Chains A and B, each alone.
Chain A
Amino acid sequence: MEDATRSFGKGSLPPGPVPDGLIRVYSMRFCPYAHRTRLVLRAKGIRHEVVNINLRNKPEWYYTKHPFGQIPVLENSKCQLIYESVIACEYLDDAYPGRKLYPYDPYERARQKMLLELFYKVPHLTKECLVALRCGRECADLKLALRQEFCNLEEILGYQNTIFFGGDCISMIDYLFWPWFERLDVYGIADCLNHTPALRLWTAAMKQDPTVCALLIDKNIFLGFLNLYFQNNPDAFDYGLAC
């Protein structure tokens, strides 16, 4: 995998300028927001390099890339920086030729952006469930709230009668949602999909997509990362790397 490189931590030297013809993404192998950007890079066949950041031990230079040290951030060979995952994904779709992930039609485009609004509670709820479970706490209320959000998404699929959120082919909105659904199993909350058959069909269809497939994170490696992460071990971010 392109992003199977050691993360940069405090005291590390900053990477040099981005070579012409390439775009760089500052990332972390297990971050769902950065995952969105990596999906788009892959789906559009964009030549890129990945620089992983140790999020518990951020390099000082990283704050020159993002004021709060967040990921993902795109950096191009003109030293232009783009962040917020959704903005980065749209930038890639606009700037690079080939397969367009957002629809051409302005109304369909707006529909996808409205759908994204429907999704906004999901990242926070899935993370809260993960933290609760990992800390040995109960999370029935959180799971209920998450199931409700999933019901709303289920309703959309039912109303549209399409496999994917943008129609019968995969498109940007599906990639923007995917990272959290991929994590349900490893977070221990896959049962939240029990009452949403269309959403289950969607996840099955997503797993058949070549881009999603290529970036699927190995479950054991993810679990290894989570174990170390919740022990506050800064080596968590490089877990599973070859050397």
Chain B
Amino acid sequence: MSGSARSLAKGSAPPGPVPEGLIRVYSMRFCPYAQRTLLVLKAKGIRHEIININLKSKPEWFFKKNPFGLVPVLENSQGQLIYESAITCEYLDDVYPGKKLLPDDPYEKARQKIVFELFSKVPSLVTSLLRKQNEEDCSGQKEELRKEISELEEVLTNKKTTFFGGNSLSMIDYLIWPWFERMEILELNDCVDHTPKLKLWMAAMRKDPAVSALLMEPKALRGFLNL
């Protein structure tokens, strides 16, 4: 899997232009934001190549791809660059044919974006809990995370559907999945104890071909976080 290629670091030569018929994603194997883009690429069957970036020792040329120096970044054969994970995902859905991940209906599309905003506090809470795993008391943050997760449970309860966009998996599910995958691996499962619909959603997500193809090796993630 090209996603497991060694990362490029400071001092590395920049990669050449992107061949026609392909799109390139600058990524990092354990980055949840980049995972969003990889999920969409997979789900839509888009031919792509992955270049992993060493985020602790970034190549100088990478800042020409994204002035913020962050992954993910898309680069196409016309040299156009797109960054910010949610923007890359929407771009891919707009440009490439096949299964549409965002709804056509303007209201349903807006609803997905509203749910995305509801989710917005979760990434930083999960990240800081990951970092504190063996350290001080993190019950305050766990409470906060539970609260945010309850709001998402409410969405599923009100909608009465399996997925956040309806009865089939769609963009919003892919956008939030990476953090729930990490919660499971890092045993923050008690944060979803009181949210039965979310538990069902997580089980349904694991059955999706794109999600299961990109599932991380728990040992690999733990090893990465320890480094």
- A, B assembled together: yes
For the complex formed, measure the closest distance between the CB of A63 and the CB atoms of chain B, giving whole angstroms. 15
- The reply to whether B107 and A110 form a contact with Cβ atoms under 8 Å apart is no
- The reply to whether A117 and B94 form a contact with Cβ atoms under 8 Å apart is no
Using a CB-CB cutoff of 8 Å, which residues 53-97 of chain B contact chain A? 80, 82-84, 87-88, 90-91, 94-95
B113 contacts across to A, CB distance below 8 A = 84, 87, 90
B91 contacts across to A, CB distance below 8 A = 106-107, 109-110
For the complex formed, measure the closest distance between the CB of B97 and the CB atoms of chain A, giving whole angstroms. 12
Q: Is A80 an interface residue (CB 8 A)?
A: yes
A88 contacts across to B, CB distance below 8 A = 110
Alpha-carbon separation in the docked complex, A83 to B95 (Å): 26
For the complex formed, measure the closest distance between the CB of B12 and the CB atoms of chain A, giving whole angstroms. 25
Per-position contact with A for B106-129: 1 when CB-CB < 8 Å, else 0? 110110011001000000000000
Using a CB-CB cutoff of 8 Å, which residues 73-108 of chain A contact chain B? 76, 78, 80, 82-84, 87-88, 90-91, 94-95, 106-107
Q: Which residue of A lies closest to B83 (CB)?
A: A114
Tell me the dominant secondary structure on chain B's binding face: helix
B interface, size bucket: 10 to 19
- The reply to whether B117 and A94 form a contact with Cβ atoms under 8 Å apart is no
A94 contacts across to B, CB distance below 8 A = 106, 109-110
B117 contacts across to A, CB distance below 8 A = 84, 87
- With A84-B113, A87-B113, A87-B114 known as contacts, the answer to whether A110 contacts B82 (CB < 8 A) is yes
Partner among B87, B95, B106, B110 whose Cβ is within 8 Å of the Cβ of A114 = B87
Tell me the dominant secondary structure on chain A's binding face: helix
Alpha-carbon separation in the docked complex, A78 to B108 (Å): 13
Alpha-carbon separation in the docked complex, A103 to B147 (Å): 38
Q: Is A195 an interface residue (CB 8 A)?
A: no
B88 contacts across to A, CB distance below 8 A = 110
Partner among B82, B83, B106, B110 whose Cβ is within 8 Å of the Cβ of A107 = B82
Q: Is A10 an interface residue (CB 8 A)?
A: no
Q: Is A113 an interface residue (CB 8 A)?
A: yes
B109 contacts across to A, CB distance below 8 A = 90-91, 94
Alpha-carbon separation in the docked complex, A63 to B80 (Å): 43
Chain B positions near chain A (C-beta within 8 angstroms)? 80, 82-84, 87-88, 90-91, 94-95, 106-107, 109-110, 113-114, 117
